[in-house]
Amino acid sequence: AGPVVIAGAGQGGLQAAISLRQAGFDGPVTLIGSEPGLPYQRPPLSKAYLKDGDADALALRPQSFFETKDVTYLPETTVTRIDRDAGRVEVTGPAGDSALPYENLVLATGTRNMRPPIEGLEHACDLRTLADARTLRGRLDAPRRIAVIGGGFIGLEFAAVAVKQGHEVAVIEAAPRLMARAVSPLMSNRFATLHRDWGAELFLGQPAVSVDEAGVTLADGTRVPADFVLLAAGVQPNVELAEDAGLETANGIRVDTRLRTSDPAISALGDCASFPDPRTGRHVRLESVQAATDHARLIAARIAGDDPDGPDYAAVPWFWSDQGDRKLQIAGFAGGPDTTDEAVTENVVARFDEHGLAAVETINAARVHMKVRRMLASADPIELSLLEELAAA
């Protein structure tokens, strides 16, 4: 089998290497990543790592994996160009510049933090990489006033940890509600109440316009004093490599139902990929461990099986976020314009669209979450009454 090159050694890139070998692929596999060290998981960076600082616990596989499975891993190495005509990628790394041939190329380049038009962002910290999390953790060593720009999952997870540690925390969100892109208004309100109860101050519906050494200024002139500022205002997909190579992009690298880009020798996965949602057919881009790993598994099976007519991507999306002592879990994905919500209980919200049940959000209800995931994977329609029974059981 011809060589597989994987650009990006995060959650999905590493999973592609793992799954290729699990599927019996015996050709050369090269995993290329810009960051130093072993591939690691990001979710704990805004959760456990902030508390325990245990970086070793983040590694997805030990160094021995690469020897045992005969996977060439090139850390601190960046893919700079795809030469589709020659079937090779150009890379730059500690050993200088070189080119690597591929028969199949997997783009797993993830995202980077969005830089909204806010003055003075050089005063703000990011939370995307282990290096960011190290810096941030260092800032939590003494009681401080902290402003978080962005009331999404990462900003709120961080806020919950910081408040618990005794810091004064303000969360600034431009939208009128928390986690507005991802959860129902019911869940947004529920978490707004929780965060206020835990002691955070929330500024909703007010974009930050500038950051300086003493804090943040909002659009209406409100000053939020802070010793340091975390920028957690969302991400943008790393699509430039694909774009420069003439591949189709639109809010991510566009792929088909088998996760192939407009060039069938090149696949894309995870945070950087825009793929057809199996339930609705609409192209979506999901930022989740689930999407990255399930995409990787399908791509690996397709390449290892050398089967152009294998199954389409069909995995049910799921997600979690730990905030304080609450675990928010989402089974399914509700991204459509006409979503309606039903509160099944205080901790279970069902979201419907024109195709039926789209997603169920739960708080500290892992059993309900798991059951809904199984139900969504089966083709049977799911009625609200069934969810009520499930939540009451």
The three state secondary structure string of 51-74 is HHCCCHHHECCCHHHHHHCCEEEE
Sign of CA dihedral 146, 152, 157, 158: negative
212: part of which helix (H) or strand (E)? strand 208-212
Cβ atoms of residues 172 and 151 within 8 Å: yes
Residue 30 makes contact with ligand FAD by CB under 6 A = no
Site for ligand FAD in 164-203 (CB under 6 A): none
Query: 125, 154, 171, 216: which one contacts ligand FAD (CB under 6 A)?
Result: 154
357: part of which helix (H) or strand (E)? strand 356-363
**Interatomic CA distance for residues 258 and 299, integer angstroms:** 7
Query: 188, 321, 323, 329: which one contacts ligand FAD (CB under 6 A)?
Result: 321
**Interatomic CA distance for residues 18 and 69, integer angstroms:** 8
- Provide the minimum distance between the beta carbon of 160 and ligand FAD in the complex, in angstroms, as a whole number: 12
Residue 76 makes contact with ligand FAD by CB under 6 A = no
Q: What is the DSSP letter of 110?
A: -
Residue 324 makes contact with ligand FAD by CB under 6 A = no
Nearest alpha-carbon partner for 17 in 62, 64, 66, 54? 66
Cβ atoms of residues 20 and 70 within 8 Å: no
Residue 150 makes contact with ligand FAD by CB under 6 A = no
Query: 18, 124, 292, 391: which one contacts ligand FAD (CB under 6 A)?
Result: 292
Query: 5, 71, 79, 391: which one contacts ligand FAD (CB under 6 A)?
Result: 79
Tell me whether residue 173 or residue 271 sits nearer to ligand FAD (CB atom): 271
Which span (189-197, 218-226, 281-289, 303-311) binds ligand FAD, by CB under 6 A?
281-289
Residue 78 makes contact with ligand FAD by CB under 6 A = yes
Query: 43, 155, 215, 335: which one contacts ligand FAD (CB under 6 A)?
Result: 43
Residue 297 makes contact with ligand FAD by CB under 6 A = no
- Provide the minimum distance between the beta carbon of 315 and ligand FAD in the complex, in angstroms, as a whole number: 13
Q: Give the β-pairing of 266-268 and 223-225.
A: unpaired
Q: Give the β-pairing of 273-276 and 253-254.
A: parallel
Residue 125 makes contact with ligand FAD by CB under 6 A = no
Residues that bind ligand FAD (CB under 6 A): 7-13, 32-35, 42-43, 45-46, 78-79, 108-110, 127-128, 154, 238, 241, 270-272, 287-290, 292, 319-321
